[in-house]
Amino acid sequence: MSAVLALTADFGRTMRIGTLEITAALIAAAIVAARPRVRTVAEIGSLTPMLVELQIHDRSARATFEGRPPFEVGRDRSTDVPIADPEVSRRHLRFESHEGVVYVEDLKTTNGSFLNGRRFKEPIEVRAGDELDIGTTRIVVAAVRVA
């Protein structure tokens, strides 16, 4: 009987030590994972400057814009591409690029933004030939290329 009790006591002590070791290993792993990771240039990738050409078709006027993202489109004169359309928000769209891909983002506008006839709320990729509708203005993406 005493041999069984000794075996049980050893098993309990072994399990407790094993549990403490596992807990310590988990804490150490959490500390290592929580540290900010420094990324090398090879991991980040190359930053590719892009050039976007837009054809803007307003009610009575047509214009062309060519620029490097990031840039904004809106009714406010301080935007990079000002549009004189009362249904367009002051700051309506933002164009951005990341690793050679150009994205357009709706800036939480009241009337919304449409890409090729479909409303979008999240940043979405744009390509040459895409059509953006904001208010009564149509913006055609004429070209997207490396600058």
Dihedral Cα 110, 114, 118, 123, nearest 10 deg: -90
pLDDT at position 146, please? 87
Nearest in space to 53 (alpha carbons), one of 68, 41, 38, 39:
68
Contact of 146 with 97, CB cutoff 8 Å: no
- Per-residue pLDDT at 124 exceeds 80: yes
Q: Which residue has the higher pLDDT, 34 or 50?
A: 50
Calculate what percentage of the chain has a pLDDT beyond 90: 51
Q: Which residue has the higher pLDDT, 99 or 139?
A: 139
Tell me the whole-structure pTM to 2 decimals. 0.67
